[in-house]
Amino acid sequence: MNKSINTFKELAEVCQENNKQIYEVTQKYEAELADITEKDIRQIVKKSLDAMKESIKNGLQCKEMSISGMCGDDCDRLQKKYQTEGAIFGKTFEKITTYALATIEENLRMGKIAACPTAGSCAIVPSVLIGVSEDFNISEEDQINALITAGTIGRIISTKVALAGAVAGCQAECGVASAMAAGALTQMRGGSISQILNAVALAMKNLLGLTCDPVCGLVEIPCVKRNPFLAIHSVTASELALAGVESKIPLDEVIDALEQTGKLMSPLLKESSQAGLATTKTALKLKQTLFK
Amino acid sequence: MKQTSMIDIISPVMVGPSSSHTAGAIRLGLLAKNIYNEVPDKVTFKLYNSFAQTGKGHGTDKGLLSGVLGLNVDDIRIKDIFNSELAKEFEYEFQYLEDFNRHPNAVDIIFEGRRNMKISGNSVGAGEIEITNIDEFSVSLTGKYNTLLLIYKDVPNMISRVTNSIHVNIASFHCDRYAKGEEASMCICLDGEINQKIIDFLYLIEDVYMIRYIKKLES
C-alpha cells in the first residue's frame, strides 16, 4: 500500500480488498510517506481540527470588519435572527450556517483558520463536520476520521485539478470543499464506501462551472456567503447518497469533467476579476472607493 | 506523478484571508530572512501586479514584513504587525509596481545593511512559493527542502568538492554564474540535514565566498 492512490476507483478497490475504511487506508499510506506513525498523522490532523473549532469560537463572538470594510458582520446578523426566530430546518441547520459564516469571517479579518482546501473555502468542511458532531454526539476520534476522509477526497481530486480559482475557477475551491464535506459527512454517518463516493460525485456534479469573479480581487464577495450555501449543499448530497441515490456518472469521470470545464473556462472568470460580479457597475464603484 | 499528501489539503493553519496573497507572502518573507541571515538596517518590498493591486486588502504587505521578522503563517500578531514593537527592528518601505513580464504575484525583497542583498520570488498558489533570484543569480528555492546555497568563484571541480563533502542525498541541484571565471552560485536541495561541522568544512574550500544553510519551512 506504499503506492499513491490517484483515482477513486483505485481507492474503492483498496478499501474493499482490505476491508478498510478510507481513513484507515490513508493514514497508513501517509505514515509510510512521511516515515512517522499513524498516531502522528492523526495528531497532525487534530491540529487542523482544533484550529477549525477555534475559528468558529472566535468568529461567533466577533463582528469586526475586513480591511476593505466590505464584509465581517453577517454572522452576528444571522445569530440574532435565529435567537428571535429559529431556522425552519432546525438546530443543526442553524449551526452549520452560523459556523460557516463565523469561520469565513475570521478568515477575512486576518484571524487564524485552517485552509481546507483553500482559505477562501475554509468554512465549508468545518461547519458541516463540527456542527453535525455537536448535535449527534460524534467523538473526537470520529471527527478526525471524517477529516482524513475529506482530505483524501481533496487530495485525489488535486492530482488532476489544481485546487485554485486562478487555475480552474471556484468549482475547484468551494466546489471541491463541498464535495469533500459531502463525502466526509456520509462517512461520519456510517455510509458505505460506495455511498461516500456517490455523495462526492453528487455534490461535485452540481457545482461544475462555478466561476471565480471576486469583487475588487478580494476573498470577500461572493466568497463569504458562498461558504454557508455550499455547506448546506453538501448535506443535501449526503442525504441523497445515504438513501441509495447514485450518480449515474462515476466519480472519476465527474473529476475529468471538472478538469475539462476548468480548462474551457475563460481566464476572465478565473480570479482575475475581469468579468462577472467583479465588473458589475456596483463592483467597479466599490473598487474606485477602495483603492484610491 | 509526484507524491501528494492529504495533510496539504486540510492545512496549513494560517491567518487569512488568502493562501496565495497572505500565507504565500509570509513564507516568502520567512525564506528571504533565512537567506539574508543578518539583521538589516532597511528592507524595501517591491510588490508586482496582483500582489500590488490587491495586496493591501489581503494583508500581503503585513505578511511580507511579518515573514522577514520571523513570524510563521499562523501567528495572530501579523494582523497588527505595523503597530507592533517587533516592527521597529529595522526601517521598511513598500513599493507597488506593474510589470507583466513578472509573475502575477511577484515580489523583490531588498535588504540593506552590513551586506546588501536583493531576493526575488513568487507566490505560486495554495501557499506554495519559489525564490527565483538572489542578487543577479537565478536560484530555485521552495522552502520544502533543507537547502545549501553557495556563492563562489567559477573554477573547475567546485561541484565535486562540495558534493563530496555533504554525504546527504541531493533532491535537486542548480548552478548559475555571472560569466566564466567570475562569481557563481550553487543551490542544493537536500533530503536530509547537515550539521555545522560540514558547513565549517565547506568554508575551507578555496574560493567559496558565502555559504547559507537554509532550513526548510514548517508546512
Q: Domain segments of chain A: what residues?
A: 8-290
CATH of domain B146-219: 3.30.70.260
pLDDT-derived band of residue B78, with 50, 70 and 90 as boundaries? very high
- Residue A291 pLDDT more than 70? no
CA distance B9 to B150: 34
Tell me which chain B residue has its CA closest to the CA of residue A65.
Answer: B57
pLDDT digits 0-9 by tens, A246-277: 999 999 999 999 999 999 999 999 988 999 99
Classify residue A195 as exposed, middle or buried by CB count within 10 Å of its CB (0-12, 13-18, 19+): buried
- Residue A47 pLDDT more than 70? yes
pLDDT-derived band of residue B124, with 50, 70 and 90 as boundaries? confident
Residue in the block written with cell 497508513: A28
- Residue A176 pLDDT more than 80? yes
Please choose, from the candidates B152, B102, B157, B139, the residue with its C-alpha nearest in 3D space to the C-alpha of residue B214. B139
Q: What is the mean pLDDT of chain A?
A: 96
Q: Give the pLDDT of residue B104.
A: 87
The mean pLDDT value for A79-84 works out to 98
The mean pLDDT value for B102-117 works out to 95
- Residue A34 pLDDT more than 90? no
What are the residues whose beta carbons fall under 8 Å from the beta carbon of A51, sequence distance 6 or more?
Answer: A112, A113, A114, B13, B74
Q: Give the pLDDT of residue A292.
A: 59
Percentage above 70 pLDDT, chain B? 98
* A31 and chain B in contact, CB less than 8 A: no
- Residue A170 pLDDT more than 60? yes
Q: Give the pLDDT of residue A12.
A: 98
pLDDT-derived band of residue A35, with 50, 70 and 90 as boundaries? confident
Residue A137, sorted as left (phi over 0), alpha (psi -120 to 50) or beta, turns out to be left
Q: Enumerate the CATH 3.30.70.260 domain ranges in chain B, comma separated.
A: 146-219
Q: Point out the residue among B6, B15, B127 whose CB comes nearest to the CB of A30.
A: B6
Q: Enumerate the CATH 3.30.1330.90 domain ranges in chain B, comma separated.
A: 1-135
Please choose, from the candidates B94, B117, B189, B108, the residue with its C-alpha nearest in 3D space to the C-alpha of residue B146. B189
Question: H-type helices in B59-122, by residue range?
Answer: 60-68
Q: Give the pLDDT of residue B2.
A: 61
* A219 and chain B in contact, CB less than 8 A: yes
Classify residue B133 as exposed, middle or buried by CB count within 10 Å of its CB (0-12, 13-18, 19+): middle
* A168 and chain B in contact, CB less than 8 A: no
Choose the mutation target among B1, B2, B6, B7 for the interface with A, i.e. most A CBs under 10 Å. B6
The mean pLDDT value for A104-133 works out to 97
Q: Give the pLDDT of residue B57.
A: 87
Contacts A–B by Cβ distance under 8 A: 146
- Are A109 and B74 an interchain contact pair (Cβ–Cβ within 8 Å)? no
Q: Point out the least confidently predicted range of A12-21, A182-191, B134-143.
A: B134-143
pLDDT-derived band of residue B66, with 50, 70 and 90 as boundaries? very high
Instruction: Say if pTM beats, i.e. exceeds, 0.80.
Output: yes
pLDDT-derived band of residue A78, with 50, 70 and 90 as boundaries? very high
Chain B hits for A44, CB-CB cut-off 8 Å, are 7, 11
Chain B hits for A288, CB-CB cut-off 8 Å, are none
pLDDT digits 0-9 by tens, B171-216: 999 999 989 999 999 999 999 999 999 999 999 999 999 999 999 9
- Residue B219 pLDDT more than 80? no
The mean pLDDT value for B29-42 works out to 96
Tell me the residues of chain B between 2 and 31 that have a Cβ less than 8 Å away from chain A.
3-20, 22-23
Q: How many distinct helices (H) and strands (E) make up chain B?
A: 6, 11
DSSP of B173-215? EEEEESSTTSEEEEEEEESS---HHHHHHHHTSTTEEEEEEEP
**The CA-based dihedral angle spanning residues B98, B101, B103, B104, taken in that order and rounded to the nearest 10 degrees:** 40
Q: Which CATH number fits domain B1-135: 3.40.640.10, 1.10.10.10, 3.30.1330.90, 3.40.50.300?
A: 3.30.1330.90
